[in-house]
Chains A and B, each alone.
Chain A
Amino acid sequence: MARQRGTGIAAVWYPTGMSGGGDPSQAMIKMQPDGSVDVLIGSVDIGEGARSVMRQIAAEELGVPIELVNVTLVDTDSSPLDTGTFASRVTHQTGNAVIQAAQEARQVLFEVAAGQLGVEPQQLTLQDGMVVVRDFPEQAIPIADVADYAVWTERRLIAGRGSFGWAPVKVDPETGEGEPLHNMAYGATVAEVEVDTETGEVKVLKLVSAYDCGKAINPLLVEGQIDGGAAGGLGSALLEELHPYYPTLDHYPTGFFSYMLPTAKDVPALDAVVVEMNSISGPYGAKGIGEMTANSQAPAIINAIYDAIGVWITDLPATPEKILRALEAG
């Protein structure tokens, strides 16, 4: 006959890239005569913002204003191969491929500019849209001028290629020994809930989290994953059941009227910290983030429910019915 509050915690880990490896992402970069850059990747954007992240990396590596960088949509006729947008792999694998491609394109740019400036390519660097002689920065040419000269006069293609992924991994068939999971990332969530012991309903008051994604290439996009993951995790914990009469298919849901999804009213405000424990292999130290952010809420909520009312709901989702039955039994 009360609303009981409780707090619960959960700590999780998640690998970057496909389990078992063998997941290449290829990338190609080409530069137009005016210094515009096309970045060809095979990764589709499922909403997480892959194109935006790759654009930032390419612009950084090539020293061109980001307004000049275009990241293409995926077309198998022109995009290089990519294993897929899953397994929290794109920032890491495609990001590294883009860096490799940018390095190769940069080398071509330097070779051409070296001729124009009368220096060696290794003396050159990039700064603010210019190719600059490292020790004599007043000797510089705008990248756009180098590109124009390269295409029409030198008749060279300023382009680069990259490919990155984990090597395929075999684990011991009996012991599982091996390294199938790479670059583990970590997360923790503190959940505060309020359980109505009359109706069994659970309200999630707070979800406070910290996630390690290594270097956050775009912190705004990382927040988007944290927020979206929180809603997904909350749905898993409290609402979503495809087989209400498991293991049978009785009363199988066929729409959102019988399969409950979180709405704007269900998800508490974002409250999260990004911890950057850089990886040794990721672009700028990045790790993956997309999936882990949906894994820490369900256990934190269930642990909070226990804290509130002293019952373990170990069979998801923690529906009002399960909570009331558990209270009755306990």
Chain B
Amino acid sequence: MIKYPINFKLNGQLVSVEAPATINLLTLLRDYLNITSPKFGCEQGNCGACTVILDGEAVNSCLVLALTVNGRAVTTVEGLGTPEDPHPLQVAFTEHYGAQCGYCTPGMIMASKALLDKNPHPTREEVVEGIVGNICRCTGYNKIVESVLAAAEMAR
């Protein structure tokens, strides 16, 4: 299979990788770059578990052709915080129990980050709108919404 070069910014660092034209960004990140935070949930573009930020927009990485990120910037949870210095969203999700099984959590956090980057002081309705593309089967969403609102408060 022919592989093509892809050069892009991943969590602030320039990366170079070669991949076939047929794979999506989810596969590129998970299988070629060891970025395992975006999860395989459906690969049909419906659940949001694979959400990453591409040039400032929250996207389902399973719907993005890998080659199209050439020259662009991708952010994942790996680029957010560390155990020593977690991102406010990560602190909030922990304190407000925004994650139960944790599988939808990376997608939820990236969707939330995309929202907060554009709208640092969202209302509850705006947070709900921001995560409406992310399915969670465990939490019933309320504590996720509370976590995002708390993170917004923290960053104030």
The answer to whether A and B touch in the complex, with CB atoms under 8 Å apart, is yes
Contact surface of A with B, Cβ cutoff 8 Å: 45-49, 220-221, 223-224, 226-232, 255-257, 261, 263-265, 267, 269-270
Give the A-binding residues of B (Cβ under 8 A).
42, 44, 46-47, 97, 100-102, 128-129, 131-145
- State whether A270 and B132 are in contact (beta carbons under 8 Å apart), knowing that A46-B101, A228-B100 are contacts in the complex: no
Q: A255 vs B42: C-alpha distance in the bound complex, in angstroms?
A: 7
Q: B135 contacts A47, CB within 8 Å?
A: no
Q: Do B100 and A265 touch across chains, with their CB atoms under 8 A apart?
A: no
| Nearest CB in chain B to that of A294: its residue | B140
Known: A227-B143, A231-B136, A263-B132. 10 other contacts (CB 8 A): A46-B101, A47-B102, A228-B137, A229-B140, A231-B137, A255-B44, A256-B44, A256-B46, A265-B132, A267-B140
| Alpha-carbon separation in the docked complex, A270 to B46 (Å) | 25
Q: List 13 A-B contacts (CB under 8 A).
A: A47-B102, A220-B97, A223-B97, A224-B100, A257-B44, A261-B137, A263-B135, A264-B141, A264-B144, A265-B129, A267-B140, A267-B141, A267-B142
Q: Is the CB of B140 within 8 A of A270?
A: yes
Residues of B within 8 A of A223 (CB): 97, 143
Q: How far is the CA of A230 from the CA of B100 in the complex (A)?
A: 15
Report yes or no: B44 in contact with A228, Cβ–Cβ below 8 A.
Answer: no
Closest residue of B by beta carbon distance from A261:
B135
Task: Name the residue in B102, B140, B144 with the highest tally of chain A Cβ atoms < 10 Å from its Cβ.
Answer: B140
* Inter-subunit contact B128/A255 (CB<8 Å): no
CB neighbours (8 Å) of B135 from chain A are 256, 261, 263
| Distance to closest chain B CB from A49 (angstroms) | 7
A148–B132 Cα gap in the complex (Å)?
53
Known: A255-B42, A255-B46, A256-B42. A221 touches B142 (CB 8 A): no
Q: Report which of B46, B128, B142 forms a contact with A227, defined as CB distance below 8 A.
A: B142
Shortest CB distance A291–B (Å): 13
Q: Whole-angstrom distance between the alpha carbons of A256 and B137 in the complex?
A: 12
Q: Which 3 A-B pairs have the closest CB atoms?
A: A47-B101, A227-B140, A231-B140
Q: Could you tell me the distance between the alpha carbons of A38 and B133 in the complex, rounded to whole angstroms?
A: 40
> In the complex, what's the smallest C-beta–C-beta distance from A191 to chain B, in angstroms?
14
In the assembled complex, which residues on chain B have CB atoms less than 8 Å from the CB atom of A229? 140
Cα distance A111–B138 when bound, in Å?
45
Contacts of A256 in B (CB 8 A): 42, 44, 46-47, 135
A228 touching B102, Cβ below 8 Å: no
